[in-house]
Structure 1
Amino acid sequence: MTKRRNFSDQFKAAVALETLRGDKTVQEIAAKRQLHLTQLSTWKAHSGHRILRPRRETKSGMNAHQMHLSQAVKLS
């Protein structure tokens, strides 16, 4: 029996951002990252919910969405 893989929130955000960019198809990204299409679609949908949430400014002047995207870009 194989062990279940766990992914960090940062990894999920980076992959979701990659799908939202539109440079590659979801199928290409899934093959490259060895993920199932359903998993990618779920992460992409969840990132959309975060994007649509009201944004509050932080002490740095960035809102949570901007900080989330900047962290995801740093990881990729």
Structure 2
Amino acid sequence: MKSYTQEAIDAVAQAAERERDFGGWLANVLATVQADHEDGLTAGRPGSWEAEHVERLASGGVVLTEQDRA
């Protein structure tokens, strides 16, 4: 069984090959996850440079529809 990290790597690699607008796709994915988790994506690393970049990318995305999530 793959770890969730490996599954995420595989999904992102596949999207990088198939998505015409990979950055937009990734921003939408992060925005959707951010909206679904009240603690946010960066609760474990507030103030870090990584958290800043994730927050900026997630806040610029549009939440995916149910059809997009499939």
Which TM-score band applies after superposition, normalised by the shorter structure?
A: 0.3 to 0.5
TM-score, normalised to structure 1's length? Answer: 0.39
TM-score, normalised to structure 2's length? Answer: 0.41
Q: For the pair shown, which has the larger CA radius of gyration, 1 or 2? A: 1
